[in-house]
Chain A
């Protein structure tokens, strides 16, 4: 299905909740209101003309200029061989959204990773812990304004520049 048709169908089903279709880019996408993410995803998974069985990818972008954390969902359908890209804008200070774990199980780990690296809270997630970094790590590294902590567990995270060492 064409991305535009997909958007129009979704927009008709959820009036006012999906918006700003952008079809002039390499991967057409549209925005979904944070309050209806789960409903839109369930609809896209179950509707026979969409059948997005798979959540290919869930990740985020940090956009400090707009003061947004933007979640990006890539869906794929093996039945119809089409792709959909959904975007959800969250406020940077308090990024919260419902989990889609109950729609696709793969979201469990993807969301943990986004929580770990961007600090997005997924309401209703069964096991929201850091996944790649240690539990007691401070900060969210993939945010643009992230400053690395100076030491971790008494170990310095700084490393002497190799070249200076060699010159001495």
Chain B
């Protein structure tokens, strides 16, 4: 009997190893660092260390004029800069009770939805790449390149747009551009099916992601998970529908939610699949916008020395990474008193420490990619 007990003891001594992953690990989507404690391949915890991309965008907001701050908001999330532009402009407009030009609203939605497709393409593309499928990444980036060209045509920039201004948009969208956007949509919608055949329905891909790192709805509330990540947990919640802004109430679109069809509800595959279907919904919205685009000015008359009355406002919009909050305080002067940017990536990142316990190191990569965290948006 005593012999059996002695053989139950481990034959060799093991101990936890602490590894620093990052700050420039290729799969961390920017400059992020994780302090990973592992026993072999299994992690006991992964502690995110952020702040490498902190550029004090909130402090800069107190030093520049209202109009002058718009280009800075681009840098808060450079993969989906239209949304930060829009959120800040909406905050300024609400403070000063400015009515946005109706054509301007349409131009905003067109630009934003194009940007959402571009951002989701990066997300699903790098997702494949992170877990070892290089080819789909090239397909995704090829399409994103076309969107970048369209953006260049719309506003002259490919990444940091400074397109949406207080009162409307900087430049009107021409008919030629509209034609090219609908050409792109004709081309892109079938491409999504091609992409699905290549990656989404791929057995290896599904096996790799199904049941990995599921997030429960309770955790999602506790950690304030927003956007596609929240919808993947099964909650049908989209700011565009629930707290409508701009012209979204006039558009018809579905809200894709996770169903756990390949595994558990709220797992990595659900988060991926929600994004793919959101791109299709964005295409629908774009087509409607192009059809409904009214004539008229694209920007309302806003004084050059813009001084909104004292007050504070909290704006929520549905950015590519979910509920983006801009808390803007004005003291009636030419400069904002305080600009606070609350982003989806920041809170998603704080969840990783909890979810990562007991995961494999390779699954951590899948988890980061599926949450679509974006380092500039975390650190601001």
- Residues of A bordering B, CB below 8 Å: 25-27, 53-57, 59, 61-62, 72, 74, 78, 81, 83, 85, 104-106, 108-109, 117, 130-134, 141-142, 144
Contact among A72, A78, A104, A109 for B222, CB-based, below 8 A: A104
Contact among B58, B221, B311, B314 for A85, CB-based, below 8 A: B314
Do B347 and A109 have beta carbons less than 8 Å apart? yes
Interface size, B (range): 35 or more
Indicate if B267 sits at the interface (CB-CB under 8 A): no
Do B379 and A74 have beta carbons less than 8 Å apart? no
Q: List 5 A-B contacts (CB under 8 A).
A: A54-B221, A56-B342, A61-B338, A81-B243, A132-B379
Query: Among A26, A130, A133, A134, which residue has the most Cβ atoms of chain B within 10 A?
Result: A26
A27-B312, A61-B338, A142-B59 are contacts. A106–B223 as well, Cβ < 8 Å? yes
Q: Please indicate the chain A residues that have their CB under 8 angstroms from the CB of B223 in the complex.
A: 105-106
State in angstroms the CA–CA spacing of A142 and B61 once bound together. 11
Chain B: minimal CB distance from A21 (Å): 15
A61-B338, A78-B235 are contacts. A26–B311 as well, Cβ < 8 Å? yes
Do B95 and A133 have beta carbons less than 8 Å apart? no
Contact with A along B215-258 (1 / 0, CB 8 A): 00001011110000000000101000011000000000000000
Q: Please indicate the chain A residues that have their CB under 8 angstroms from the CB of B325 in the complex.
A: 56-57, 74
- When C-beta atoms are compared, the residue in chain A nearest to B338 turns out to be A61
Q: Please indicate the chain A residues that have their CB under 8 angstroms from the CB of B323 in the complex.
A: 56
Contact with A along B321-342 (1 / 0, CB 8 A): 0010101010000000110101
State in angstroms the CA–CA spacing of A107 and B141 once bound together. 36
Do A26 and B327 have beta carbons less than 8 Å apart? no
Do B327 and A57 have beta carbons less than 8 Å apart? yes
Chain B: minimal CB distance from A88 (Å): 15
Do B235 and A106 have beta carbons less than 8 Å apart? no
Indicate if B40 sits at the interface (CB-CB under 8 A): no
- When C-beta atoms are compared, the residue in chain B nearest to A144 turns out to be B62
Do A133 and B51 have beta carbons less than 8 Å apart? yes
Q: Please indicate the chain B residues that have their CB under 8 angstroms from the CB of A27 in the complex.
A: 312-314
**Consensus secondary structure, chain B interface:** mixed
Do B50 and A131 have beta carbons less than 8 Å apart? yes
Chain B: minimal CB distance from A74 (Å): 6
- When C-beta atoms are compared, the residue in chain B nearest to A134 turns out to be B51
- Nearest first, the 8 A-B pairs at minimum CB distance are A106-B224, A109-B350, A132-B51, A105-B222, A53-B221, A132-B54, A57-B342, A59-B340
Chain B: minimal CB distance from A22 (Å): 10
Query: Among B56, B224, B312, which residue has the most Cβ atoms of chain A within 10 A?
Result: B224
Q: Please indicate the chain B residues that have their CB under 8 angstroms from the CB of A81 in the complex.
A: 242-243
Indicate if B137 sits at the interface (CB-CB under 8 A): no
Chain A: minimal CB distance from B235 (Å): 7
A26-B94, A133-B54 are contacts. A54–B327 as well, Cβ < 8 Å? no
State in angstroms the CA–CA spacing of A57 and B327 once bound together. 9
A74-B314, A105-B223, A109-B350 are contacts. A131–B327 as well, Cβ < 8 Å? no
Contact among A74, A105, A130, A141 for B56, CB-based, below 8 A: A141
| Chain B stretch 55-92: residues in CB contact (< 8 A) with chain A | 56, 58-59, 62
Q: Please indicate the chain B residues that have their CB under 8 angstroms from the CB of A57 in the complex.
A: 314, 325, 327, 340, 342
Do A72 and B51 have beta carbons less than 8 Å apart? no
State in angstroms the CA–CA spacing of A85 and B329 once bound together. 14
State in angstroms the CA–CA spacing of A62 and B340 once bound together. 12
Indicate if B346 sits at the interface (CB-CB under 8 A): yes
Do B221 and A78 have beta carbons less than 8 Å apart? yes
State in angstroms the CA–CA spacing of A83 and B316 once bound together. 11
Chain B: minimal CB distance from A152 (Å): 13
Chain A: minimal CB distance from B335 (Å): 12
A54-B221, A56-B342, A133-B51 are contacts. A106–B347 as well, Cβ < 8 Å? yes
Do B58 and A142 have beta carbons less than 8 Å apart? yes
Q: Please indicate the chain A residues that have their CB under 8 angstroms from the CB of B94 in the complex.
A: 26
Do A72 and B221 have beta carbons less than 8 Å apart? no
State in angstroms the CA–CA spacing of A27 and B313 once bound together. 6
State in angstroms the CA–CA spacing of A158 and B219 once bound together. 44
Do A25 and B51 have beta carbons less than 8 Å apart? no
State in angstroms the CA–CA spacing of A72 and B50 once bound together. 23
- When C-beta atoms are compared, the residue in chain B nearest to A141 turns out to be B59
Chain B: minimal CB distance from A45 (Å): 9
Chain A: minimal CB distance from B97 (Å): 10
State in angstroms the CA–CA spacing of A78 and B242 once bound together. 10
Chain B: minimal CB distance from A46 (Å): 13
State in angstroms the CA–CA spacing of A15 and B235 once bound together. 36
Known: A26-B312, A131-B50, A142-B58. 16 other contacts (CB 8 A): A25-B311, A26-B95, A26-B313, A54-B224, A56-B325, A57-B327, A57-B342, A72-B327, A74-B314, A74-B325, A78-B221, A81-B243, A105-B223, A106-B347, A106-B350, A109-B349
- When C-beta atoms are compared, the residue in chain A nearest to B56 turns out to be A141
Q: Please indicate the chain B residues that have their CB under 8 angstroms from the CB of A62 in the complex.
A: 338
State in angstroms the CA–CA spacing of A74 and B324 once bound together. 13
Do A59 and B224 have beta carbons less than 8 Å apart? no
